[in-house]
C-alpha cells in the first residue's frame, strides 16, 4: 500500500522555511504522539494539552484517531495492514504540521512499535512519544465507548488488548501513569518537559 505510484514529480523547496514559521509562532514545531490502549486517556490529554498551550499563545492542532477515520482514513479498517497504513498517513500529516511550526498532538492507539518507529523516523528531532500508561484492567473498567464490552462479546474482532496485541513503547520521551495522575498533573508534566526541551518558551 505504500508503494510509490506517482511519476514525473519533483520536490519543491518553499520560500518560507520551517525556521521562518517557528520564528513567527514564537516556538518550535513538534509532534506529541500519544499512544496507549483505548481508554488510557490519549484523546483527553491531547485536547487538554492543546487547550493549555493555546492559552499560552502556542499554535496547536489535535489529530484524533476517530476523527481522522471520518475523512482522510475513512477507507481503512482495523486489519494489521490497515492499521499500518493509518499510522503511516498520520505520521506524514503530523510531519507537515511540525514543518509548519505547529505543536500537534496525535491521539492514536498505534499499537505496533514498528509503525510508531516509522512515524518517528520522519521527524526524529521533533517527535515526542507519550505513553498513556494504564493497564488493560483500568482501561476496561472505564470503557467509555463500550468497546471492550463488545470485544469481549465477540462483536468486535481484532480489538487491541483483547485479541490483538499492544506493544508498549520501550523508550518513550514521557511515560504517564494515567491511572495514578490527575489530568492536570499529567498535562503539567508534559508542558514542563516541552519547556525544558526548548520547544516552547517557559511561562
Helix (H, G, I), strand (E, B) or coil at 140: helix
Q: What 3-state DSSP class applies to 5?
A: coil
Query: Quick check: 105 and 32 in contact, CB under 8 A?
Result: yes
Cα–Cα dist 133/110, whole Å? 13
- The continuous run of DSSP H or E covering 148 comes out as helix 147-152
Spatial distance between the Cα atoms of 72 and 117, rounded to a whole number of angstroms: 21
* Rounded (10°) angle between helices 18-25 and 80-99: 70
In the set 38, 110, 135, 182, the catalytic residue is 110
Contact predicate 105/67, CB 8 Å: no
Active-site residue flag, 110: yes
In whole angstroms, give the CA distance from residue 97 to residue 179. Answer: 30
Q: Tell me how crowded residue 135 is: count the other CB atoms within 10 A of its CB.
A: 13
Q: Which residues are catalytic?
A: 110
Amino acid at each position: 500500500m505504500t508503494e510509490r505510484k506517482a511519476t514525473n514529480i519533483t520536490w519543491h523547496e518553499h520560500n518560507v522555511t520551517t525556521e521562518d514559521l517557528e520564528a513567527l509562532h514564537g516556538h518550535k514545531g513538534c509532534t506529541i504522539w500519544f499512544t496507549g490502549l483505548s481508554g488510557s486517556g490519549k484523546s483527553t490529554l491531547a485536547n487538554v494539552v492543546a487547550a493549555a498551550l493555546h492559552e499560552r499563545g502556542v499554535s496547536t492542532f489535535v489529530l484524533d484517531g476517530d476523527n481522522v477515520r471520518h475523512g482522510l482514513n475513512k477507507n481503512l479498517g482495523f486489519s494489521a495492514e490497515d492499521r499500518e497504513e493509518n499510522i503511516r498517513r498520520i505520521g506524514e500529516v503530523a510531519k507537515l504540521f511540525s514543518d509548519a511550526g505547529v505543536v500537534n498532538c496525535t491521539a492514536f492507539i498505534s499499537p505496533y512499535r514498528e509503525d510508531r518507529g516509522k512515524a518517528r523516523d520522519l521527524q526524529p528531532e521533533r517527535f515526542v512519544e507519550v505513553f498513556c500508561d494504564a493497564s488493560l484492567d483500568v482501561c476496561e473498567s472505564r470503557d467509555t465507548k463500550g468497546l471492550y464490552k463488545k470485544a469481549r462479546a465477540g462483536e468486535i474482532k481484532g480489538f487491541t488488548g483483547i485479541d490483538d496485541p499492544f506493544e508498549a513503547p520501550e523508550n518513550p520521551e514521557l511515560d504517564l501513569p494515567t491511572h495514578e495522575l490527575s489530568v492536570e498533573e499529567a498535562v503539567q508534566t508534559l508542558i514542563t518537559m516541552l519547556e525544558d526541551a526548548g520547544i516552547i518558551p517557559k511561562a
